[in-house]
Structure 1
């Protein structure tokens, strides 16, 4: 009997479930496990092929009658912020960020709960506990980092680890061709700051500084209001049946 473990990932298909983005639609997903010494390499390949990571699972839509979910990545080196985005950067000039290992904290979870209770009261994550949050952050076999965004304390100098109020958090995978924003959340009471947009702009700048080309934003769903913000960051590519292609915003009508 051959007991050798196959180096190739094994893929599985979920049962149909109600689509969280489009009313009346059913979704299915194909998924595999990201474990072992090749997990980071596999995460790169699968993300470039339209998969997303959640803990140690990589998945992508496999719906029978719908192709609305489209993988999106920003072309970081070609991106230039417009007027509204420059205003957002200026409005948040006092924010400082720090990158650390994928480790949860009570402070992060408190902000996470405030965000969920305000933005996603009926979503699949609405009942997440502190343990669930810790698993979401820590259960990774790839190069994952936590980026914390804080209000700069008066008198804090450069090179000092920021200790001001926590305003936002991003769980981010460091990949060979850029950064993949796995999940991010922020203080929902600071709506005028547009912190979600600010964190994406920060990831674009970080990717440029690394000399890498892409920021992966996950899936865009045309017709879903909660996904509409993703097409604001131009230029960007969408994964089609022909591969990654530059998206023409004029077609998003």
Structure 2
């Protein structure tokens, strides 16, 4: 990987997955303006993005956060996935530039789904810094029904694939599994673009809210500094 400056703040913060742990991360120097080649390289080495910040967990004594990706060419739709796509088939999709237009939908999602979390109460600055800001390689995949918002998946474009960053949706339509629907649609977009990988971010062993990622098979995991098949668990 191209040599870059990595920063590790001394101060830890509460872990977002385990209440009894503290979290540390390595950060790419925020003064760097990485080109798409470097962004792809960083992603391949387990780094993720939150707004303009590019980071990788680096917690002493814990290695629970591990990147996973779907090998798009091998991915097949099982019955439950086909049902998810069928149930929301009347939604229309568009790929859009990141903007302030969906802030109220984001705020509604956070208020209804994550009122007990660190992202509550939502604010426009939080939304902008988290999802709108970036390195010009991110987009919004937006699902609507008759012009009304249903879901948005924020994703990054890399040279070797697409990477899901965050999904928010209208909680009134939760029974249609909008999160799964959007992941499946991004995977299909990868297939149409001829890209080999759909990156799902960190799978966190032992965390219920991240366990869903292991249900997408086949799956690869970045472990011991190399990508390898995700073992059946």
TM-score, scaled relative to structure 2: 0.93
Judged with a 3 Å threshold, the aligned counterparts in structure 2 of structure 1 residues 38 and 26 are, in CA distance, closer, same or farther, namely: closer
How far residue 34 of structure 1 moved from its aligned partner, in angstroms, is 5.7
**1:186 corresponding residue in structure 2:** 169
Looking at structure 2, the residues matched to 231 and 206 of structure 1 have their Cα atoms a distance apart, in angstroms, of 20
**1:128 corresponding residue in structure 2:** 122
Structure 1, unaligned stretches of length 5 or more? 1-6, 154-163
Match of 1:144 among 138, 144, 164: 138
**1:38 corresponding residue in structure 2:** 34
Match of 1:233 among 197, 211, 216: 216
Match of 1:198 among 175, 181, 184: 181
Looking at structure 1, the residues matched to 30 and 73 of structure 2 have their Cα atoms a distance apart, in angstroms, of 29
Looking at structure 2, the residues matched to 98 and 149 of structure 1 have their Cα atoms a distance apart, in angstroms, of 7
How far residue 50 of structure 1 moved from its aligned partner, in angstroms, is 0.5
Looking at structure 2, the residues matched to 53 and 13 of structure 1 have their Cα atoms a distance apart, in angstroms, of 15
How far residue 40 of structure 1 moved from its aligned partner, in angstroms, is 2.3
1:72-102 deviation per Cα after TM superposition (whole angstroms, max 9, x unaligned): 1111111111111111010011011111212
Task: Write the mapping of 1:1-253 to structure 2, written as runs, cut at 5 A.
Answer: 8-14=3-9, 15-33=11-29, 38-105=34-101, 108-151=102-145, 153=146, 164-241=147-224, 243-249=226-232, 251=233
2:171 is paired with a residue of what secondary structure?
Answer: coil
How far residue 242 of structure 1 moved from its aligned partner, in angstroms, is 5.1
Aligned residues: 231
Looking at structure 2, the residues matched to 183 and 33 of structure 1 have their Cα atoms a distance apart, in angstroms, of 23
1:8-54 deviation per Cα after TM superposition (whole angstroms, max 9, x unaligned): 43211132222111231221000114666533222211111111101
1:102-125 deviation per Cα after TM superposition (whole angstroms, max 9, x unaligned): 2221xx111111211122113222
Structure 2, unaligned stretches of length 5 or more? none
How far residue 127 of structure 1 moved from its aligned partner, in angstroms, is 2.7
Highest Rg: 1 or 2? Answer: 1
